[in-house]
Amino acid sequence: MNCSGKDSRVPEELLRLSSHPRVCVRRGGAPRKDAKCVVYWMQRAMRVVDNPALDVAVDAGNALGLPVVVYFSVIPNYPNANLRHYHFMAQGLRDVAEDAAEQGVGFVVRRHPDNSLEAFLEEVEAALLIGDENPCREPERWRRVLAGRLRLPYWTVDADVVVPSTVFGRSYFLLHHFRPHLKAELPKYVVAQPKAKPLQVWKPWKELRSFSLDEDITAGFGKLDRIVGPVDSFTGGTHAALKRLHAFVNHDLVDYEVKRNHPEVKGTSRLSPYLHFGNISPLTIALAADSAVAQGKAPAAARDRFLDELIGWRELAVLFVRHNPNYDNWECAEPWARKTLLEHAGDPRPHRYTLEQMERGETGDELWNAAQREMVQTGWMHNYMRMYWAKKILEWAPDPARAFDWAVTLNDRYELDGRDPNGYAGIAWAIVGKHDRPWFDRPLFGLVRPMSGASIAKKFDAKAYIKQNSAGEGTLAF
């Protein structure tokens, strides 16, 4: 794998494209001769708008005089995905189909078992393959295996972050260590990108099969978890994401600094599900926030605080997952946190709950139960509550390792933005001190920063939040 993109066998224009920091050449070489198209294998970046991976595919197609077709493969066993996730994904794919047609690129969806990417590349006689980057373990394994089997060039594009992760080449201990490096790069990347327009419009032939998105993409998936069903609190797709973004920057960004830590008023962007599924680019969001400030709709300080979350913390999380193979388990603990948590492992716990009790929101802490219900019922939890939620799991679980595992299990099962670097980094921050500093020595927590319900309830209207997330029809029955 050559992420520098340097390969003398590649034509000059493609060499220029492949040498961008956002591009990783996983299999080099010249494109196939007498090819009919360039294929973009869409996975993480499920969008047409502001998609650097699709732009690279279009630019490559233009250089070769070929059209572009987007390929999406629906598998029945995506790691830790359930009906809730597939439903949201299917909604987003309908937007991709509509937007792709408007741009003149093809869009083909195939389902298991007729979804071999390699067979599709032969079927359409692809010149080269462009794909998405994804730092998580299993998708990265897929990419490495595929690169070893293909017989045509294969590039992946880091379309999920504002600044390509290869620019930094490492993870950082604390956000304030990362900020100076990030700040130095942002002027190069927080810039509106020209929309790549295909010179050759895709014209499919009749025999080219594509699954109809009017049908159920999960039909026949016998082992799919269907207990966790769809939610009506979020609609998947770029169109819904842009609508939510415009509402936020036009009405909520102005008060972001004050309201962002008030779960009862929902003063945050609530864009994380769309970012996870790649329905919207973080660059699109950042530029919209800049525009709101320029138009006098929000103060610069509110924008800066928001971008610190959107770009600072989020891209720090991506680097953490990219460079730490134990990002989703206790083994990623900071050494000081591991030492102090083990020293306090024998401390008496005032309460102990099983994973099943927590899943049902049956603890003696009504604030925590409300946060759990918000996640179960809506597919999303306010970020301020996520910190408290994970801290209490550490307090109630038998040991720190199981606390981490239980937090990951619940987060990945119910959150629309679960199974994501941001979620893993947040759990690691709360439970094992990742991207945090030692605090004051306390029972159970040791030097890991504690949070108590009494202290955080003073900072917002906890009673209102509990009432908003009371037990109701959306509660799961186990």
Range(s) of the domain holding residue 276:
238-323
Asked if the structure places residue 180 within a domain, the reply is no
350 and 432 co-located in one domain: yes
Residues linked to residue 157 through DSSP beta bridges, in sequence order: 23, 132
Contact 172, 319 (CB under 8 A): yes
Instruction: Say what the pLDDT of residue 384 is.
Output: 94
Instruction: Say what the pLDDT of residue 476 is.
Output: 46
Amino acid at position 212, single letter: S
CA–CA dist 17, 354 (Å, integer): 52
Asked if the structure places residue 183 within a domain, the reply is no
- The number of distinct structural domains making up the chain is 3
**181 alpha-carbon distance from chain centroid:** 22
Residue ending a domain, among 280, 306, 323, is 323
Asked if the structure places residue 107 within a domain, the reply is yes
Asked if the structure places residue 199 within a domain, the reply is no
Residue ending a domain, among 126, 145, 160, is 160
What is the b/e burial string over 423-438, where b = at least 16 CB atoms within 10 angstroms of the residue's CB?
Answer: bbbbbbbbbbbbbbee
How, if at all, do strands 154-157 and 23-27 pair?
A: antiparallel
Residue ending a domain, among 121, 141, 160, is 160
Instruction: Say what the pLDDT of residue 11 is.
Output: 86
304 and 420 co-located in one domain: no
Asked if the structure places residue 429 within a domain, the reply is yes
CA–CA dist 458, 156 (Å, integer): 47
297 and 390 co-located in one domain: no
Where residue 419 falls (left for φ over 0; alpha for ψ -120 to 50; beta otherwise) is left
Instruction: Say what the pLDDT of residue 472 is.
Output: 63
108 and 246 co-located in one domain: no
Residues linked to residue 107 through DSSP beta bridges, in sequence order: 70
Question: Tokens 């953490």 label which residue?
Answer: 320
What's the DSSP call for residue 449? P
pLDDT digits (tens, 9 = 90+) for 230-262: 999 999 999 999 999 999 999 999 999 999 999
339 and 313 co-located in one domain: no
Asked if the structure places residue 60 within a domain, the reply is yes
Instruction: Say what the pLDDT of residue 471 is.
Output: 77
Contact 181, 168 (CB under 8 A): yes
Rounded mean pLDDT for each run of 10 residues along the chain, 478 residues in total: 63 93 96 96 97 98 98 96 98 98 97 96 97 96 96 97 98 97 97 93 90 97 97 98 98 96 94 98 98 98 98 98 98 98 95 97 97 98 97 97 98 98 98 97 97 92 96 49
Other CB atoms within 10 A of residue 357 CB: 13
Question: Tokens 């006098």 label which residue?
Answer: 296
CATH, residue 308: 1.25.40.80
137 and 27 co-located in one domain: yes
355 and 406 co-located in one domain: yes
Asked if the structure places residue 3 within a domain, the reply is no
18 and 150 co-located in one domain: yes
CATH, residue 18: 3.40.50.620
Contact 117, 260 (CB under 8 A): no
